[in-house]
Structure 1
Amino acid sequence: MWIFHRPPGHARHDTPLDTGTIHAGGVSVRTEHHTGLDRAAGIRNSEARGRRTWSRAIHDHVGNVPQAVDGPPPAEFLSAEQLLARLRPWVVTRDSIEPDTRWYTHARVVAPGLCEVLALDLDDSVLTLTDDALAPLGGVVDLRTHALDNLRALPVDSHTALHGPEGLRFHVMTGDSFFTSSRVLTADELAHDLTGRGLGPDGALVAMPNRHQLALCPVDTVHGTDLLPTLRCMTAFTADHFEDAVGQVSPDVYWWHGGTLTRLVRQDGGEPEFTHNVEFEVLLLRLAGNGAAGHF
């Protein structure tokens, strides 16, 4: 098992984000994270390669390094019912559970580089559960169903609709929960929470830059010719809120369609790369009506 703690002094998301602005160069939203680590200064002073490298080194120390469990395991002081009530599916990077993948055979690939593991929500920390730890609680299929129900029941802490020219609009949910971005697994229900209606048959554009943020744009809320501009704006937003974030998930943008995540935009430090997908391109042509949906 690995346990991930909330960094000391981490800002809670009790205050909604300011209304965002979409502009030609990207998306601007005010958000703050504070680590409060005494060791941060030491990391910074040990790096001589510039401010961006300091930020990355601090991020790696805070957000990605698993920490040993302090005190007795939860199974020793929580009943089976209490454990089940805290069970959640957690979307994490594949390397978060490596090199221990043999202990997590229940992990499910949800997108390139991302997988879903079952974990316990301990409020200020998350404990991923190995196959052996799950066994006393029941079968994996039933446990995942229960965990998804728990995920659906989480409240929406903060919801902001970002607006741009010509009706461009997408939604951003921000939350203190470690499982905020994992709610992409229940995107249809989340869309209803955010917009008052479920997703149509064409799904939604989604992005999970870090574990505390999820961006979503139902496809049927934009005009056909607005879909690619919206995708570009979400790409800029995701890149901005992935870089230097604590608890990074993915800098990429996806299409949630029929319960499946398809990566549309890959960002790996250079220019965003559009991933050609026949289904999505057919969707663009259909929405545009005349085949002129534009180019990414």
Structure 2
Amino acid sequence: MGLRDFLRRAFASGDDDHEHESTRGDGGITRADGEAVASSADGTPPARPNPAGGPPPPRTARTPLPRGDDAVRAALRLRLLAVDALPTVEGLPHLRAIAPGVVEVLTVDLPDRAVVPPTEQVARLGTPAELVSLGRDHLRELVGPGLERREIRAEDGLRFCFAHGAEHSTASLALVLPEVLAYLEAPADPRRGVAVAVPDAQHLAYRTIEGLESVMALGPMAAFARNGYDDNAGAISPEVYWARGPRLDQWEQLTRQSAEGIEIHVPAALTALVEED
């Protein structure tokens, strides 16, 4: 039986759906002008549980940027966000689409919140390219002691891993995924890409593509992503993606979650790579 037939049978449940539900939660993030990105129906900032532990999610109180250019530069960091967590996509110093509904932005990270500054507040600090490079360097600094690798094994033996750290921006480490794999998985061979999920700000789930079992693990990963997206503050995406390319920064969506269930789509290019084994 070929891989295509195997996947069709393994993922078959009605219309290739797994019966799970997905609901949308709010994260917490603040623009530099103090505007709360997400709020509840009565206009107050959302209060969401943080069952994963660790630091509290970014707060939404009005807070100015640190005083002094050096302090602002030191707090610059790239961050992964749901695009609908942003009140606007205009006037930002950096915005890059990573996947449908998921974007990379430049933030000023304070001890208890992340601020998305408008261009005019950081323009004096350097060119956009210079600021992005600095923000990426600061993100890489999180790859080290304090970042933990945890493995999840489903009842059927399928497994995947997730990175967990004290920082409330572990998911953003997907933007420096080669460095994460080199630290947590060495030796690792990501030439075929990596299945990635970023359900909330504090979790980065991944599985290196290395054979049929890695593709079969998409189901458990999708359930993990859904639960993390539903339950934790700083929700980003309930989907699983295929990250590939030299920097693993080309993402293709592999799952689609709805009230009817989870659909898993394995593109022909990924199928061909797995069939090489």
- In the superposition, the TM-score normalised over structure 1's length comes to 0.70
AA of the residue aligned to 2:62: V
1:137 equivalent in structure 2: 125
The offset of 1:176, in angstroms, is 3.4
The Cα offsets for residues 239-267 of structure 1, whole Å up to 9 and x where unpaired, read as 12111321111000011101211111121
Unaligned 5+ segments in structure 2 are 1-30, 38-44
The answer to whether 1:91 aligns with 2:80 is yes
Quote how far apart the aligned CAs of 1:278 are. 3.2
Report the Cα offset of residue 159 of structure 1: 2.4
Q: Distance in 1 between matches of 2:61 and 2:122?
A: 19
Note if 1:225 corresponds to 2:216: no
- Report whether the alignment pairs 1:282 with 2:272: yes
Relative to structure 1, the CA distance from residue 177 to residue 32 in structure 2 (aligned partners, 3 Å threshold; closer, same or farther) is closer
CA positional deviation for 1:228: 2.4
Paired residue type of 1:128: V
In structure 1, give the amino acid aligned to 2:214: L
Give secondary structure in 1 for the equivalent of 2:160.
strand
Residue 124 of structure 1, aligned match among 95, 112, 117: 112
SS in 2 for 1:232: helix
Aligned mates of 2:188, 2:122 — CA distance in 1: 32
Q: Which residue number corresponds to residue 41 of structure 2?
A: none
For residue 231 of structure 2, give the secondary structure of its aligned residue in structure 1: coil
Q: Secondary structure, in 3 states, of the residue corresponding to 1:81? A: helix
> Per the alignment, do residues 187 and 262 of structure 1 end up closer, same or farther by CA in structure 2, a change over 3 Å counting?
same
User: Which residue type is aligned with residue 60 of structure 2?
Assistant: Q
- What code does the residue aligned with 2:84 have? D
> Which one of the candidate residues 234, 237, 241 is aligned to 1:247?
234
User: Which amino acid in structure 2 is aligned with residue 182 of structure 1?
Assistant: S
Give the letter for the 1:84 counterpart. R
CA 1:32/1:150 → structure 2, altered by over 3 Å: closer, same or farther?
Answer: closer
Aligned length: 233
Aligned partner of 1:205 in structure 2 is: 195
CA distance in 1, matches of 2:105, 2:156: 40
Equivalent pair of 2:49/2:232 in contact (CA under 8 Å): no
Which residue of 2 is the match for residue 115 of structure 1?
Answer: 103
Greater shift in the superposed pair: 276-285 or 233-242? 276-285
Q: Could you tell me how far apart the structure 2 residues matched to 1:113 and 1:8 are?
A: 23
The structure-2 alpha-carbon separation of the partners of 1:97 and 1:165, relative to structure 1 and needing over 3 Å to count, comes to closer
Alignment partners' CA distance in 2, 1:67 and 1:253: 28
Asked if 1:236 corresponds to 2:223, the answer is yes
Q: Take 1:264 and 1:191, find their aligned partners in 2: how far apart are those partners? A: 20
Q: Which has the higher contact order (CA 8 A, sep 6+)?
A: 2
Identity %: 26
1:148-159 → structure 2 map (5 Å cutoff): 148-154=136-142, 155=144, 156-159=146-149
User: Cα distance, 1:147 vs. partner?
Assistant: 0.9
Structure (1 or 2) with the greater helix fraction? 1
Query: Matched residues in 2 for 1:134 and 1:146: separation?
Result: 13
Q: Which amino acid in the other structure matches residue 69 of structure 2?
A: A
* Cα deviations by residue, 1:43-85 (Å, 9 ceiling, x for unpaired): xxxxxxxxxxxxxxxxxxx98xx83424xx224x2x3222222
In 2, the alpha carbon distance for the partners of 1:137 and 1:105 equals 11
Looking at structure 1, the residues matched to 181 and 136 of structure 2 have their Cα atoms a distance apart, in angstroms, of: 15
CA shift at 1:105, angstroms? 6.0
Alignment-mate amino acid for residue 214 of structure 1: L
What's 2:165 paired with?
175
Structure 1 residues without counterparts, runs of 5 or longer: 12-30, 37-61, 288-296
Q: Is the contact between residue 160 and residue 172 of structure 1 (CA under 8 Å) also seen in structure 2?
A: yes
Q: Cα offset for 1:165?
A: 6.6
